[in-house]
Structure 1
């Protein structure tokens, strides 16, 4: 019988996901001989047998993958036959260069969940049950190949039973690196503050005791996969308010963890697509529309029509929620606030000592364990819009899965990302590794997290960048970091990067129209951009239209106090006599402060010019009395959107505006005057908010039509944080399509600054 021997090098997510036992099983099915092993390139297979069986083996390799595996490439070469007697799994090999991909951390699988609650199973109620189809990956790995010695699980010596499973190719836990049981693996411990009736509990009862404390209204820090959460009973208003005060997070919504999908349905309306996303093995937080009359504490999401909901994703979460059923009121579903373990603006705590230092002042106790987290990783946040799924934050469950680029890049690149909602991106060949959510680079702790993350990614994926890319703003910490590196540097304008991130996602290289809307981005003219219509390709752009410049009185202070932009717009629309207008805004205007700001504007002192759409949203929100001061950038705009959602006007009218084709200015002062008239006539604020959104969509479509008239361009890319506004996004997409434009937006990375590093990479690669 004719025999051939093939060598296959398989690249992709093929380590730590049950790929070698899967290969072993296929080899047994077709009675093939040879071997399989992990190395720093991926998985190497040498397989021998009849050519028809080899072809069937290769076809099944792609079509029958384990749940977490992903094949990007298979290189096949023919070899001389060896006449091996059998097929075996060989120990991993380390090589000089690395091409291995790492699976994200994933939720507990159905098989492990069944065993977790099976009293006859030896892992019954063991909080760290996992197999090759689920569990921690990215947050415990220190190096590749993905072997136990290269993870934080190396501290735990497997018992005889676990060793047997680990070495059995037909077992679901074959080479599951975090494999353990209650005899040999990590353990949970509960430590309560003095005066809580106990100090430390290290036993199976720790989870039960934690549930009892939560039922009493206590706040607990709970160690998860990528860091600590802060948890409390979501129905207990006093507990939620205490958490807000201690965490110094006054208004941003808290995420919720519910025990089941049915529990989520009791709180929110859910489509089939939202349900599938919620239940996926990635387990993101999903933003869902609240049901009227649901009884979650008002302080969970004050002023919002949505709730951020996630299902449990670790065995510890499942056990904690199950234990809560014994202590919580039976007439309500089990719902816990499960928010990031930090004080606002700081990175999430993930090291135990750090948690004890930073979270003790917030929590009444800490439910932790002794399996170390090597790298922090926040929860991902997603939602489903009429335009499809959209990331608000891409992190746990998705990172470090690379994005495949539409073409290979010639040199390895590091893109340092933005100042706010920072991510970085390392890329080589056709793969872009976008980091987990780092956060706002406004303090030393977050900057250290940024630097540590870059170092880890460089080692893990063997990328030594030859070019570094940065934002144009000279004072951003990410920019300063880039400028200090001894590498060739490329500066990329902020809004060009937003549009480029959309283009590279969709493999677009031609020039198109880009609508870039956000709060702030440094412009080449030293102004603060943010309401831009561009003609852009990947290497360059031309600014076609922008919101007419206005001063930003007091610089960043105007971001925290939206009334400043409202007064600036009123002053531009009416002159200094705007204070005579009979509108509620003027009754709350800090007159003396405004007089000082007027003098600063006249003298051009700390009043940079801005074309920011985010600041226009702030101004209108303040005019309507929604927010005169905010706790975080975007708060006023979000609350303006929430108000617009409640509008009952079937066909909201459009306010006037003016576009100058000679100066490229989009002038919205006619709209400001019309809004003021509506306020004077006591038109409902929800109606005004909705009309404003409609007007902005009309304004942008008109500008795009002007660009098309001059250029013939039909494709439009939407980028920037303003496109997290669902009302505006859906209205604008509908109108653009009605005018025969083809519309593209981010699907794989956030439209906000969390996706900026991908756009920076795209521009640098094109240049």
Structure 2
């Protein structure tokens, strides 16, 4: 038996206490919100103390995200010193898939589709469109979306016009950014961003599916700047739903490619459909939004199905906030089922970051079973985050 405290994610933070002898009944804190808010940090610390009290102040490990700068990571490392237990750093997307497995009591290796906005990867870059092979404490990255630039860093996640510019750059159209986007954001802003992308200034890379949604929404004129989280993705889904309610759509296999290294490349879709859509024509925008959803789903599934054959696996866990998108989720489940694979979406647990702590605790439980010591875990964490300062 082991009791593991998990400190959760940075966004929509919630902490979790998992007793491996009673894995069906984890203890949860409230959802605190984003840890960029000092009040959320205070309430997280209070919740952790409450969970510790419920555990009789006895825990066997503390799990946390790989990112070294999160308050939740700092809190976890302080707790391990106070309680003399190991710290287990868990990669964000590994935790998303693990949360699905923990909820279901799953014990066998699976493939996982982890689709969200951001999480620090083991290479120090920002991940979020991942195909993983997960086996307890171990995972292997077996595919991912083609990286896009994040011009301006984190601000790009709030301003889809920047991701539209990144998509143009990815397609070799950097020189068109100022001309295309000046009417939207002004000549100076568009010119500055074009220069940043041309020179690679403050433009870290991300594989995040959420940023691909932002890029599509920006290219289609559905969102310039977001007033709330996922506003662009919601607008894109609504446009796609309008089209699909009245039409069927045949996806073109030529609209994506997979490189030998496992990069899922949607640039053919951008070039064939999204970049040159007449954004003053609502019907054309809705059709393009629908084509984006179905093509993204089919491209991810095609690679996942190929990996399932390679690794002789039949089960695919679906984790990450992008699975709140019904069109994407339904298409992925249907495509996997058509290929005789078993799709495992979240059940009652949130597929997003609010459910992440359960996955962290589940992975930490497997680490304890493996007998990895604190020193080995610290060495793993150092290796994982050595480029973190430039990644996010």
The TM-score range, normalised by the shorter chain, is 0.7 to 0.9
**Residue 653 of structure 1 corresponds to which residue in structure 2?**
250
Q: Distance in 2 between matches of 1:613 and 1:586?
A: 26
1:534-553 correspondence runs (5 A): 534-553=132-151
Q: Distance in 1 between matches of 2:87 and 2:349?
A: 24
1:210-235: per-residue Cα shift (whole Å, max 9, x none)? xxxxxxxxxxxxxxxxxxxxxxxxxx
1:198-217 correspondence runs (5 A): none
1:433-454: per-residue Cα shift (whole Å, max 9, x none)? 1222111111221111111111
1:179-235: per-residue Cα shift (whole Å, max 9, x none)? xxxxxxxxxxxxxxxxxxxxxxxxxxxxxxxxxxxxxxxxxxxxxxxxxxxxxxxxx
Deviation, structure 1 residue 577: 3.4
1:650-692: per-residue Cα shift (whole Å, max 9, x none)? 2123254333352111111111112236614955211111111
Deviation, structure 1 residue 597: 2.9
Contact 1:514–1:717 (Cα < 8 Å) also in 2: yes
1:439-450 correspondence runs (5 A): 439-450=33-44
Where 1:718 maps in the other structure, the secondary structure is strand
Higher mean C-alpha displacement, 535-544 vs 463-472: 463-472
Contact 2:241–2:290 (Cα < 8 Å) also in 1: yes
Q: Distance in 1 between matches of 2:309 and 2:178?
A: 42
**Residue 462 of structure 1 corresponds to which residue in structure 2?**
56
**Residue 638 of structure 1 corresponds to which residue in structure 2?**
234
- Relative contact order (alpha carbons < 8 A, sep ≥ 6): 1 or 2 greater? 2
Structure 1: gaps (5+ residues): 1-409
1:276-315 correspondence runs (5 A): none
**Residue 488 of structure 1 corresponds to which residue in structure 2?**
86
Q: Kindly indicate whether residue 220 of structure 2 is the aligned counterpart of residue 624 of structure 1.
A: yes
Q: Distance in 1 between matches of 2:272 and 2:35?
A: 39
**Residue 520 of structure 1 corresponds to which residue in structure 2?**
118
**Residue 325 of structure 2 corresponds to which residue in structure 1?**
725
Where 1:491 maps in the other structure, the secondary structure is strand
Deviation, structure 1 residue 421: 0.5
Measured at CA, do residues 677 and 474 of structure 1 come closer, stay the same or move farther in structure 2, by a change above 3 Å? closer
Q: Distance in 2 between matches of 1:507 and 1:575?
A: 48
Deviation, structure 1 residue 526: 1.0
Deviation, structure 1 residue 705: 1.7
**Residue 434 of structure 1 corresponds to which residue in structure 2?**
28
Q: Kindly indicate whether residue 338 of structure 2 is the aligned counterpart of residue 738 of structure 1.
A: yes
1:34-85: per-residue Cα shift (whole Å, max 9, x none)? xxxxxxxxxxxxxxxxxxxxxxxxxxxxxxxxxxxxxxxxxxxxxxxxxxxx
Match of 2:347 among 726, 741, 747: 747
Measured at CA, do residues 674 and 580 of structure 1 come closer, stay the same or move farther in structure 2, by a change above 3 Å? farther
Where 2:272 maps in the other structure, the secondary structure is helix
1:260-275 correspondence runs (5 A): none
Structure with bigger gyration radius:
1
Q: Distance in 1 between matches of 2:100 and 2:57?
A: 24
Contact 2:160–2:223 (Cα < 8 Å) also in 1: yes
Measured at CA, do residues 496 and 437 of structure 1 come closer, stay the same or move farther in structure 2, by a change above 3 Å? same
Deviation, structure 1 residue 556: 0.8
Measured at CA, do residues 475 and 606 of structure 1 come closer, stay the same or move farther in structure 2, by a change above 3 Å? farther
1:86-144: per-residue Cα shift (whole Å, max 9, x none)? xxxxxxxxxxxxxxxxxxxxxxxxxxxxxxxxxxxxxxxxxxxxxxxxxxxxxxxxxxx
Contact 2:278–2:284 (Cα < 8 Å) also in 1: no
Contact 1:532–1:547 (Cα < 8 Å) also in 2: yes
Deviation, structure 1 residue 604: 3.9
Contact 1:412–1:463 (Cα < 8 Å) also in 2: no
Higher mean C-alpha displacement, 499-508 vs 671-680: 671-680
**Residue 207 of structure 2 corresponds to which residue in structure 1?**
611
Deviation, structure 1 residue 507: 1.7
Q: Distance in 2 between matches of 1:678 and 1:652?
A: 19
Where 1:421 maps in the other structure, the secondary structure is coil
Measured at CA, do residues 462 and 607 of structure 1 come closer, stay the same or move farther in structure 2, by a change above 3 Å? same
Contact 1:535–1:541 (Cα < 8 Å) also in 2: yes
Question: What TM-score, normalized to structure 2?
Answer: 0.86
Q: Distance in 1 between matches of 2:153 and 2:333?
A: 32
1:145-224 correspondence runs (5 A): none
Q: Distance in 2 between matches of 1:750 and 1:645?
A: 23
Contact 1:503–1:538 (Cα < 8 Å) also in 2: no
Q: Kindly indicate whether residue 153 of structure 2 is the aligned counterpart of residue 562 of structure 1.
A: no
Match of 1:423 among 1, 4, 14: 14
Measured at CA, do residues 466 and 578 of structure 1 come closer, stay the same or move farther in structure 2, by a change above 3 Å? same
Where 2:11 maps in the other structure, the secondary structure is coil
Q: Distance in 2 between matches of 1:591 and 1:649?
A: 38
Greater share of residues in strand: 1
**Residue 379 of structure 2 corresponds to which residue in structure 1?**
none
1:597-648: per-residue Cα shift (whole Å, max 9, x none)? 3443454432211001000001111111111000233111012112211114
**Residue 311 of structure 2 corresponds to which residue in structure 1?**
711
Contact 1:614–1:637 (Cα < 8 Å) also in 2: yes
1:348-359 correspondence runs (5 A): none
**Residue 757 of structure 1 corresponds to which residue in structure 2?**
357
Q: Distance in 2 between matches of 1:464 and 1:591?
A: 60
**Residue 693 of structure 1 corresponds to which residue in structure 2?**
293
Contact 1:657–1:666 (Cα < 8 Å) also in 2: no
Contact 2:177–2:194 (Cα < 8 Å) also in 1: no
Contact 2:6–2:15 (Cα < 8 Å) also in 1: yes
Greater share of residues in helix: 2
Q: Distance in 2 between matches of 1:577 and 1:571?
A: 8
- Over the residues paired in the alignment, what is the CA RMSD in angstroms? 2.0
Question: What TM-score, normalized to structure 1?
Answer: 0.45
Deviation, structure 1 residue 463: 4.7
